[in-house]
Amino acid sequence: MAQTDKIEAAVFRQLIRHLDEHKEVQNIDLMNLAGFCRNCLAKWYVSSAEEEGQTLTYEQAREIIYGMPYSQWKEKFQT
């Protein structure tokens, strides 16, 4: 199980890097094509943190997913 967790964590980090490298892909595009977006990832992050007994706000999770405060990302990259 520990090895599976490590692999899944590495895949998640790669997904976050990939999304960060493709800021031109808007959340609405992700929602339309894949049924999830960066905000969904942040919500899942909060939910998983809670399951592990950790307290994390949605805004904190968004900053992890976006690599910066969401308001800043939105201003710079949302079209």
pLDDT digits (tens, 9 = 90+) for 16-66: 999 999 999 999 999 999 999 999 999 999 999 999 999 999 999 999 999
- How many domains is the chain partitioned into structurally? 1
Answer yes or no: is pLDDT of 72 > 90.
yes
Residue linked to tokens 């805004």: 59
Of 37, 47, 46, the closest CA to residue 16 belongs to: 37
What would the mean pLDDT of 9-17 be, rounded to a whole number? 97
What's the rounded Cα separation, in Å, for the pair 55 and 31? 27
Stated pTM of the model: 0.91
- pLDDT, position 1: 81
- CATH assignment of the domain containing 51: 1.10.3340.10
- State which residues form the domain around 52: 2-77
HEC states along 20-73? HHCCCCCHHHHHHHHCCCHHHHHHHHHHHHHHCCCCCCHHHHHHHHHCCCHHHH
Residue 74: band (very low, low, confident or very high) from pLDDT cuts 50, 70, 90: very high
